[in-house]
Amino acid sequence: MRAVALVALLLIILPVSAGDFSVSAVEIGKLMVNNTVEQLRNSRYMFMILDLSDNTLQDIYQNLWGIVYGLLVLQYVNNQMTNLALDAMLNDSYTADMSKFGYSGSEKLYDVVGYSVDMIGANAEDVFGDPQGSKGLARIVNAEYYVLKDPNDEFEYDYLGAYATELTLFFYSGVQFFIKLADAIDRAFS
């Protein structure tokens, strides 16, 4: 059954993906602004949900500190695992086969990291762009700025107004949330 669904999906996708991807940078800018607005709204709604829930449960902010504690524990363990991997990268006995990437076979892991830094640095303008925002990632960010500024008054939707409004409401809700969370510190930590 899964195989049939996968084949059907491929048949639908293949004709669509026949050409190279191309879209206006302004369209990407619109999506970026809208995505940011929706993320701010989602966060604000979560603050509001917790606030309403606190009216019923009374200890929600105190117990949020338990979640913070749990996340810190998980982050600590994850950092230990990451440190093991970073330490292994420093070990001369570990190598990676880089022949498929045009290098001379096995390379030490720290050298592979170095090659990666060199590649990004050597291609910085292609990757990050230029101050004019005419290429690289700067082109996309510049398009988002263009959409917010709307210099030619070409958009029917007020992207800047939506962004500024949601950012303001998010900030206000966040401050209320933080005050209530801080107020619960004495009850959460004995």
pLDDT digits (tens, 9 = 90+) for 38-84: 999 999 999 999 999 988 888 899 999 999 999 999 999 999 999 99
> Is 63 inside any structural domain?
yes
Nearest to 141 by CA among 151, 128, 150, 153: 128
> Is 27 inside any structural domain?
no
Could you list the residue range(s) of the whole structural domain that residue 169 is in?
41-188
- Work out the pLDDT band at 105, boundaries 50, 70, 90: confident
> Is 65 inside any structural domain?
yes
- Number of structural domains (the chain) is 1
pTM above 0.85, yes or no: no
> Is 17 inside any structural domain?
no
> Is 12 inside any structural domain?
no
> Is 3 inside any structural domain?
no
Strand partners, 107: 96
Where helices occur in 58-135 by DSSP H, the ranges are 60-90, 109-122, 124-128
> Is 52 inside any structural domain?
yes
